[in-house]
């Protein structure tokens, strides 16, 4: 039996479906499809989305590390969906975020992405 207390609110379904479609390659943007291939949504709360993601080899640089542009594209998509869960479909903000790369991320390594509550 399904736990009713853990159901996702209806207004969150659109951004989650959008992320799911991109991760499965069902999008008009080939860049997003390649960047987010295999993304799995683990947990959703207001303003927070947790995902499992294994970096595919297609987004690696010449040294076998995750390309920073591909990393930024994934962060942009998941952060946008997380904002949508916090604003309940009324996105009237401009987001300016800075990404600091402290070390490289190897391909074919699983990561857990989490965007903090807004």
CA-nearest of 10, 36, 6 to 22 is: 36
Predicted local confidence at residue 48, as pLDDT? 84
Collapsing DSSP states into helix, strand and coil, what is residue 58?
helix
Q: What is the pLDDT of residues 54-105, one digit of tens each?
A: 888 888 888 888 888 888 888 888 888 888 887 765 555 566 777 777 777 7
Dist. CA 48–CA 109, nearest whole Å? 22
- pTM higher than 0.85 for the full model? no
Q: How confident is the model at residue 31 (pLDDT cuts 50, 70, 90)?
A: confident
Q: What is the pLDDT of residues 36-51, one digit of tens each?
A: 888 888 888 888 888 8
Domains, the chain, ordered by start:
9-114 (3.10.129.10)
């Amino acid at each position: 039996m399904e736990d009713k207390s853990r159901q996702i609110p209806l207004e969150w379904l659109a951004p989650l479906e959008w992320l799911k479609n991109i991760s499965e390659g069902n999008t008009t943007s080939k860049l997003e499809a390649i960047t987010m291939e295999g993304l799995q949504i683990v947990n959703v709360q207001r303003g927070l989305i947790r995902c499992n993601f294994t970096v595919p080899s297609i987004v690696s640089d010449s040294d076998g590390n995750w390309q920073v542009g591909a990393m930024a594209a994934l962060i942009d998509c998941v952060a946008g969906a997380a904002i949508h869960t916090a604003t309940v479909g009324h996105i009237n903000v401009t987001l300016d975020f800075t990404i600091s790369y402290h070390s490289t991320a190897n391909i074919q390594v699983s990561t857990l992405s989490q965007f903090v509550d807004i």
